[in-house]
Amino acid sequence: MNRWMAFLCGLNFAVGLCIAGMTQPGKITGFLDFAGNWDPSLLFVMAGAILVYSVGFRMAVKMPKPLFENEFQIPPVRSVDKKLVFGSILFGAGWGLAGFCPGPGIVSLVSLRPEPFLFVISMVAGMWIFEKTQTR
């Protein structure tokens, strides 16, 4: 992809995450706290993202090729297995405990607060450990 277009897409995504409040761990944990002071506002963010994705994906697959690449990169595996389920559970638990998921965690680095740095360092370490254990 054209590097400038990739940068602009990433910047647009980062700004959207900030506007939606996805970079605020308190907002995330408030959304996940069904038994306490539940904040449903992120439900609208997620519903909006699903709507945009579903319309965009349906439009994209009708195109002969992407605008800025030679071919679409759609994962060939479409089955649900133990690794996917365990990974989803681990992702959700980490999101709930830290209040960050990968995208917002990286975007939050610009705040220079220690929490996003700890999260991103832990995430990279986990990715490294996963890669090392999968090559065996």
Closest listed residue to residue 109, CA positions, set 124, 96, 94? 124
Closest listed residue to residue 115, CA positions, set 90, 97, 89, 91? 97
> For 45-73, what is each residue's pLDDT tens digit?
889 999 999 999 999 889 998 888 888 88
How many domains does the chain contain in total?
1
**Band (1; pLDDT cuts 50, 70, 90):** low
CA distances (Å), origin 33, targets 3, 19, 27, 38, 96: 40, 21, 10, 5, 9
Per DSSP, which regions of the chain are E strands?
none
Residue 78 pLDDT > 90, yes or no?
Answer: no
> For 9-31, what is each residue's pLDDT tens digit?
899 999 998 998 889 998 888 88
Rounded to whole angstroms, the Cα distance separating 37 from 34 reads 7
Helix (H, G, I), strand (E, B) or coil at 127: helix
Q: Which residue range(s) make up the domain with 75?
A: 3-134
Residue 109 pLDDT > 80, yes or no?
Answer: yes
